Chains A and B, each alone.
Chain A
């Protein structure tokens, strides 16, 4: 059963809704954004670098020990590392 609401109060609420779209408000919010944006960008870049390096190490060091085609695997790991770095910096 839906919650009961007073129709007259509903009308009051609907009629008292004021348009408050204001370019100044958007500007003020936007001016306060760069700090967060810069920190987030830095964190994302650092996380990307750490992820890429650790992935590269995992592929480049561990995999050749287990597989026969070590050279090929190392090459693939190098390629993947480069790809990860490029992707994370985009």
Chain B
């Protein structure tokens, strides 16, 4: 690692963004390095396919590179990148399944049908994949990104009431799925 890239690695993000806005490829690579884990995790939760999620993450970074000169201020980079990711994912989902309603979900079987073998695990990503696209988007943005319902509504162009109902219903379905796939918690051993 040379001195310039070491300096970039230690620089505040706003400064690195400002350099990247001026066309500095090394600065932009540093931003990709810093933000890739967060962005790929976000897109993996939204997509059902990790390979597709990584491909979308690359597309998002490329769009960001092209559009960086239009960024209002370096401090807004994180939220702006997230919005790019959401829009990219929505566009991809619409293109891949134009006839599929965003409200279609895999049928949720009765809770008893989920009783798993002892070794079976259903991780969060697979549970999320059982939600509708809209529910998944709203739940991920609320729980993973910590966005308020109002912020989700602004970012996704969904009405506030719809966002609230998607978050509530999605969270309810997730609770059922995760509870059913987890071994029951052991009773604490009685002392003495």
Q: How far is the CA of A25 from the CA of B62 in the complex (A)?
A: 12
Residues of A within 8 A of B36 (CB): 20-22, 25-26
CB distance from B87 to the nearest CB of A (A): 18
Q: Is B65 an interface residue when CB atoms closer than 8 A count as contact?
A: yes
The reply to whether A17 and B143 contact each other, CB–CB distance below 8 Å, is no
Report B-chain residues with C-beta under 8 Å of the C-beta of A37.
23, 25, 65
Q: Is B25 within 8 A of A30, CB to CB?
A: yes
The dominant DSSP class at the A interface is helix
Q: Is the CB of A20 within 8 A of B62?
A: no
Say yes or no: is B131 at the interface (Cβ < 8 Å to chain A): no
Identify the closest chain A residue to B124 (Cβ): A16
A-B contact count (CB 8 A): 79
B123: nearest chain-A partner, CB-CB: A16
Q: How far is the CB of B70 from chain A (nearest CB, A)?
A: 12
Does B125 interact with chain A (Cβ within 8 Å)? yes
**Any A CB within 8 A of the CB of B48:** no
Q: Are A5 and B143 in contact (CB under 8 A)?
A: yes
> Does B148 sit within 8 A of A, measured CB to CB?
yes
**Cross-chain contact B124 with A32 (CB below 8 angstroms):** no
Q: Which of A6-14, A61-69, A76-84 interfaces with chain B?
A: A6-14
Q: How far is the CB of B144 from chain A (nearest CB, A)?
A: 5
Q: Which residues of B contact A3 (CB under 8 A)?
A: 142, 148-149, 164, 167
Are B58 and A12 closer than 8 Å at their CB atoms? no
A6 to B148, CA, bound (A): 14
Contact of B124 among A6, A12, A34 (CB under 8 A): A12
Contacts of B142 in A (CB 8 A): 3, 5
B143 touches A36 (CB 8 A): no
Could you say which residues of chain A place their CB within 8 Å of the CB of B32? 25-26, 29-30
Contact present for B25 and A26 (CB under 8 Å): no
Cβ of A33 and Cβ of B149 under 8 Å apart? no
Instruction: Let me know if B171 is at the binding interface, CB within 8 A.
Output: yes
Contacts of B125 in A (CB 8 A): 16
Residues of A within 8 A of B28 (CB): 33
Are B40 and A25 closer than 8 Å at their CB atoms? yes
Query: What are 22 inter-chain pairs, A to B, with CB distance below 8 A?
Result: A3-B149, A9-B171, A9-B174, A9-B178, A10-B143, A12-B124, A12-B174, A12-B178, A13-B143, A16-B123, A16-B124, A16-B125, A18-B37, A25-B40, A26-B33, A29-B61, A30-B29, A30-B32, A36-B62, A36-B65, A41-B23, A44-B23
